[in-house]
Amino acid sequence: MGERYPRITVVTPNLNHGAYLEACLSSVLNQGYPNLEYIVVDGGSTDGSVDVIRRYEQRLTRWFSEPDGGQYHAIQKGFNASSGEIMAWLNADDKYHDGALFAMAEIFQQFPDVNWLVGYPTEYTERGIAINRITLPWARWSRFRYLTSDFAFIQQESTCWRRSVWEKAGGTLDLTLSLAADLELWARFFRHERLHTTSALIGGFRYR
């Protein structure tokens, strides 16, 4: 990769996930990525989460702790305050794999036609142990395949995109949805871009 590292924005929403939050923050910050914009948006936690955030605040770009309208509202708030060329969010109970941010940067730099990317989907146990790669059929993604559920899902923890895609898709999550705003966002992304896949390990979902 060249000398210039693209700015990567990662937003982490949190509400009372203090038992997992530090592992999440560490998985992002300890990669040592030199051009990271990391924003943590806490919804007014009462479980000690804010104490965890304060231990890391010197390494965060910014953080908030105030009541909000839920997970997707928190993510939207973070993205509204961001400026990175590459965008992603990672929930407070999930984690990135080692080297994930460098893998994102490498792929987006080497392949300028890639604007939306998903890595190999993986799972963690409640204790944070990587246990499984989720087997999905290997084929080219398309909007039709997505809308007809030919594939099981696009793993949010392993997904990232260029800001241009976010802006073309409206620059917002659907805040009326409580559980599936990521799925709705992907449907809008498909109106503008092809989803590219990589065998690199990006993020994992924690079962708990």
pLDDT tens digits in sequence order for the chain, 208 residues long: 445 899 999 999 999 999 999 999 999 999 999 999 999 999 999 999 999 999 999 999 999 999 999 999 999 999 999 999 999 999 999 999 999 999 999 999 999 999 999 998 888 888 887 776 655 555 566 666 666 666 557 889 999 999 999 999 999 999 999 889 999 999 999 999 999 989 899 999 888 8
Q: What is 8-206's CATH superfamily?
A: Spore Coat Polysaccharide Biosynthesis Protein SpsA; Chain A (3.90.550.10)
Residue 159 CA to residue 63 CA, distance in Å, equals 22
As given in the structure block, the two tokens for residue 93 are: 């109970």
As given in the structure block, the two tokens for residue 160 are: 């990232």
CA dihedral 169→172→174→179, nearest 10 degrees, is 100
List all residues 6 or more positions away from 59 whose beta carbon is below 8 Å from its beta carbon. 29, 38
- Answer whether 201's CB lies under 8 Å from 119's CB: yes
- Answer whether 6's CB lies under 8 Å from 109's CB: yes
Residue 105 CA to residue 84 CA, distance in Å, equals 12
